Amino acid sequence: MCSGRVDLEFVLRALSNGSDGVFIGGCRLNECNYITHGNFHALNMVLLCKKIMEHIGLNPDRLRIEFMSSGDGIRFAEIIDDFTGQVKEMGPLGIGENLDKDQVKSKIDEIRKLIPYIKMAKRDKLEQRFDTLKEYENLYTNEEIEQLLKDVPSYYIDPDKCRACMICARKCPAEAITGGKNTIHVIDQEKCIKCGTCFEACPPRFGAVQKITGEPVPPPVAEEKRVLNKKAVKTKA
């Protein structure tokens, strides 16, 4: 398949499942057989992932991307031998970084939950394409990644504004919103993937979904108070 289809989730899932390193091979840059030039997208994604790995304490050299043609068999073998030797020298994932195995998995899985948020926050940058490898060198900075993961938003449904229209619940890709007809909706913060779909889907005339950054999310309304009295709402309006 095209290297452009290799998603950030694929890499992090492999590491979470215990892989000590991940190698991605793509066609030579500017020699795409299609019009997509997906190898540039793969390179962009890898650079972002390396910075994220570094942020959580993993050696970014455990992830490598190389570009070659189908006729570069000898070069491919040499690259794989080199990468395999490099990973062996680093040791098992986590041990080489002086991290506990469970700690590593927990850190990676926390990032995996944020992938939709990361993609949306860095959408413009991820779509950038340069002509040379050198132009990609400083595409992402450590400070940028630190800020990105520090400013992770949370979403909360204001029970006083929710009209139980079910639009956000139907749109939520993670099925993190509970509630139904005449029942105030609540976001399960453990299931929420921070994608902001509910925030965008909530009708402006209601404005029930709140985006919260830098402060704790209010506790959910008690279950016995979630029944919406629409007659009272109309009277109040």
pLDDT value of position 32: 79
Residues in the chain: 237
Chosen domain end from 150, 185, 217: 150
Percent helix / strand / coil, the chain, rounded to 5: 45, 10, 45
pLDDT value of position 233: 54
pTM metric for this prediction: 0.83
HSE of 48, CA atoms in CB hemisphere, 13 A: 25
Are residues 115 and 189 part of one domain? no
pLDDT value of position 232: 55
Chain segment 20-76, per-residue pLDDT in tens: 999 999 998 888 777 788 889 999 999 999 999 999 999 999 999 999 988 899 999
- Cα–Cα distance, 172 to 193 (Å, whole number): 9
pLDDT value of position 114: 93
CATH of the domain at 213: 3.30.70.20
Show Cβ contacts of residue 141 under 8 Å, excluding neighbours closer than 6 positions. 51
pLDDT value of position 231: 56
Weakly modelled stretches of the chain, pLDDT under 70: 230-237
Are residues 163 and 130 part of one domain? no
pLDDT value of position 229: 74
